[in-house]
Structure 1
Amino acid sequence: MIFVKVEGQTSSIKIADSLYTLGNYAEAIKTYQKITKKDQYILLQIAKAHKAKGTYLDALHYYEKAINQDSTVASSKLEYAKLLVTTNKFKKADSVYSNLVATHNNNPNFQYRLGSVKKKLKDSTAIQYFETAFRLDSTHQKSCFEVSMHYLRKRKYNLVSDIANKGLSSYPENPELLNVLAQNYLLRKYYTEAIPYFEKLLSLNYTNEFIHASLALCYHKNYDYDLAIAQYQKALKYNDKVPIRYTRMAQAYESIKKYDEALDSYKAALTLKDVPIDEDLLNIAMVYRHQEEWEKAMAQAKLALKENPNYARAQYQLAAFADAYYKDPQTKLDYYNLFMKKFGDDTDKGKYFNFIVKKRITQLEEEIEANKKTIERN
């Protein structure tokens, strides 16, 4: 009778295991439940089946029963802790992982997972466990990322580079570490050095708004304007409500003398801004200047001054546009004198332009005087 009972139980386990393997979790659970003597293996299989079909609270219950039956099996505790994290039971998961770390302190995975839970709990000691995991295993990519990001936030750039490159040496295509290094150079304004890392991310098919926008800026600062424009356009497909992106794209178009496209981009930026737009209006004026459309340039400069009457650069450019547009030296002089009237005594706003304006005023006064003498002689 004992033999028949044992043989029947073994047969039930095989059937249940087969059902579990095929993904028929509900039937597997029913079959496991019929087994009268449930050792830790059976309890764990029931827990795993519940986890697989998404009945997490039942799964946690059976993991607990299995651990109570034998608390020395680390793998049971690990699976239990993972599910605790999945169900947002972070404090309990912290307790289980702490126990695993205490008994297996040379296991980098346990150190990393405890750090992850500490991070969820906003516990500042999390970094200690990430660093220990990385010290125990320099190929541990996730802990390497956490440590390098920690020091990136602290702006310890050289340390970030050392740590992230150490991780990449064992896995050169880790997108998280490539992203960390790209940001590390970007924050330092080392645009040329950042480019290969952003390009590598794109080659690995990791694309998002941040990558395209950042790479666009790097290309722009590296004077690769066509490449920058292409990346700005891709970034705008993710989010077309970013005025600074249109402004930068306009500047890139302007640099390669595509003035119509530059104007369109500046105007797009203007429509999105709910902050002072004097500078953008003057940017449009400067594009018209390149096209030698002086009346339009003057109109835009006046709009900029209407937005900000104390905008010295706009006042100077208005005078310069008038200088190019009008033939009458007196009219030109009036614009320059207006600048001096507003900013001549301002040692801050007008300082940069004062020398140029004074020199041009002297030239125009001499020209006007020469014209008077010519008239008198005739």
Structure 2
Amino acid sequence: MSRFYLFIFLLIASQAEAQEVSALAVADSLYAVGNYSAAIENYERIPSKEESVYLKLARAHQAKGTLDDALINYVKAASSTDEVIAMNEYGKLLITKGKFKEADSVFTKLISVYKTNPEFYYQRGRASENMPSDIKINASDSTQERTTTLFPYLKDYQKAVALDSTHQKALSELATFYLKRKDFRMVEKLAFKALESYPTNVEIIGTLAQSYYYKGWNEETITWFEKLLELGQSTQFIHEKLGNAYFKDRMYEKSIEQYLEALDFSPEDWYLHSILNKLYNYTEDVDKAEMHGLAALEFKDLPLSDEQYTLARTYELKKDWKNAMKYVNFSLKENPKNKNAEYTKVIVADNYYEDRRAVLKLYEDFIKKYSDSEYAKYDPVLRLARERRDKLTREIFMADDEEE
């Protein structure tokens, strides 16, 4: 009789186990296809959960975006044979949630056991970088010692790279750190080290391109920003910086292409319209220059003096003297000290006004105002103004003789 009861017990137990395995399989299948809510429901139905189930629940909640529930389940999962996996994922999620102190503690514990795992150092560096710190510096410390004292997370990133010279994320963090401090030599050293093992790392290439951009090396700037485009990257920042690099090399058509691409990201960006206004002036496509100049005025808040001046130059190129005078006057009203705008007004008046004596007076006033400046004798604008003043004087004198 006892054998019969034992048989029944084992049968019931095996059926319960089969149901539990079935529920787990269903939940795993739902998770695999992205149906996280249904997967969570099935995981929760499992009556006696092992730590591995809590790990699955944590992952499902994280994928769904219910991060607080994910954290709770990671803690429950962290006591199993999968403890390292759970703790690692738990620490990363703490960083995502902005719980940097707790994350730092988690990875410090992991490092105490797994001292040669570069990823744990990298993750602790991420947590440490965002933690407030009360740091004191010794005057006797070297520059390197002061840097690592001020920014303790650098040691973790450096340790990660020391343990794995191909650790792309740690190398990227270090390169970004040195870029912010304009230590371009270190940026390039780290970037090329990363690219040796991963030549298409767009984050590293972007950092390297910025290094050359801020360093002023235009040819290299163009090379690396173009590389980003080849790799399918397209952001307003990339197109603006590449457009500016083309502009510096007087490659105006290419520059226009990039600024138009940038404009697709921000159609009401007054600055982009203003740059395009200038670029189309250079290519003498005055209709497009006018269009972008007017857009810049429409989208920009005050002050508008620079944009009004650029638009005045556009109308000057179009020989639309009335509008040229209108916008140069607007520009000077906002910024009376703009010497270029003052001279543009004289040029426009020379073409727009019929009264030659009034125009001559404008030239004389301009020359008088700027003749006492420190570099007046080297000023090409003053030279041109004097030449035109002398010619106008002769024309007026000859006209007076003819009338007599």
Q: Which amino acid aligns with 2:48?
A: K
Counterpart in the other structure of 1:21: 28
Counterpart in the other structure of 1:183: 210
SS of equivalent to 2:197 = coil
Q: Which amino acid aligns with 1:44?
A: S
Change beyond 3 A, Cα 1:101–1:318: same
User: Which deviations, in whole Å up to 9, do the C-alpha atoms of 1:347-375 show, x marking residues without a partner?
Assistant: 58998344433343334334444555566
Q: How does 1:291-370 map to 2 (within 5 A)?
A: 291-325=318-352, 329-345=356-372, 347=374, 352=379, 353-370=381-398
Alpha-carbon offset, residue 11 of structure 1: 5.4
Q: How does 1:201-212 map to 2 (within 5 A)?
A: 201-212=228-239
Q: How does 1:67-78 map to 2 (within 5 A)?
A: 67-68=78-79, 73-78=83-88
Counterpart in the other structure of 2:3: none
Contact 2:51 2:79 in 1 (8 A): no
Q: Does residue 52 of structure 1 match 2:60?
A: yes
Q: How does 1:257-296 map to 2 (within 5 A)?
A: 257-296=284-323
SS of equivalent to 2:302 = coil
Contact 1:26 1:49 in 2 (8 A): no
Rounded to whole Å, the distance in 2 between the matches of 1:288 and 1:57 is 61
Alpha-carbon offset, residue 131 of structure 1: 1.6
Alpha-carbon offset, residue 324 of structure 1: 4.1
Rounded to whole Å, the distance in 2 between the matches of 1:262 and 1:108 is 54
Alpha-carbon offset, residue 244 of structure 1: 1.9
Which moved further from structure 2: 156-165 or 89-98?
Answer: 89-98
Q: Does residue 127 of structure 1 match 2:154?
A: yes
User: Which deviations, in whole Å up to 9, do the C-alpha atoms of 1:185-226 show, x marking residues without a partner?
Assistant: 222233332223223323333222212222222222232222
| Alignment gaps of 5+ in structure 2 | 1-5, 31-38, 134-150
Alpha-carbon offset, residue 261 of structure 1: 0.6
Rounded to whole Å, the distance in 1 between the matches of 2:287 and 2:67 is 60
Alpha-carbon offset, residue 122 of structure 1: 4.6
Identity across aligned pairs (percent)? Answer: 30
Q: How does 1:110-121 map to 2 (within 5 A)?
A: 110-121=120-131
Counterpart in the other structure of 1:102: 112
Which moved further from structure 2: 292-301 or 55-64?
Answer: 55-64
Rounded to whole Å, the distance in 1 between the matches of 2:54 and 2:353 is 90
From 260, 273, 298, give the equivalent of 1:233. Answer: 260
Rounded to whole Å, the distance in 2 between the matches of 1:186 and 1:87 is 34
Change beyond 3 A, Cα 1:375–1:34: closer
Rounded to whole Å, the distance in 1 between the matches of 2:345 and 2:376 is 15
Change beyond 3 A, Cα 1:291–1:105: same
Change beyond 3 A, Cα 1:372–1:67: closer
Q: Which amino acid aligns with 1:172?
A: P
Q: Does residue 143 of structure 1 match 2:170?
A: yes
Q: Which amino acid aligns with 2:389?
A: I
| Alignment gaps of 5+ in structure 1 | 36-41
Alpha-carbon offset, residue 98 of structure 1: 0.6
Counterpart in the other structure of 2:243: 216
Counterpart in the other structure of 1:38: none
| TM-score of the pair, normalised by structure 2 | 0.78
User: Which deviations, in whole Å up to 9, do the C-alpha atoms of 1:112-158 show, x marking residues without a partner?
Assistant: 01111112325531222112112221211111110100000010112
Rounded to whole Å, the distance in 1 between the matches of 2:119 and 2:160 is 7
SS of equivalent to 2:199 = coil
Rounded to whole Å, the distance in 2 between the matches of 1:60 and 1:273 is 46
Q: Which amino acid aligns with 2:55?
A: A
| TM-score of the pair, normalised by structure 1 | 0.83
Which moved further from structure 2: 306-315 or 8-17?
Answer: 8-17
Alpha-carbon offset, residue 333 of structure 1: 1.6
Which moved further from structure 2: 308-317 or 337-346?
Answer: 337-346
Rounded to whole Å, the distance in 2 between the matches of 1:269 and 1:349 is 33
Rounded to whole Å, the distance in 1 between the matches of 2:73 and 2:317 is 76
Rounded to whole Å, the distance in 2 between the matches of 1:295 and 1:59 is 68
Counterpart in the other structure of 2:199: 172
Change beyond 3 A, Cα 1:350–1:311: farther
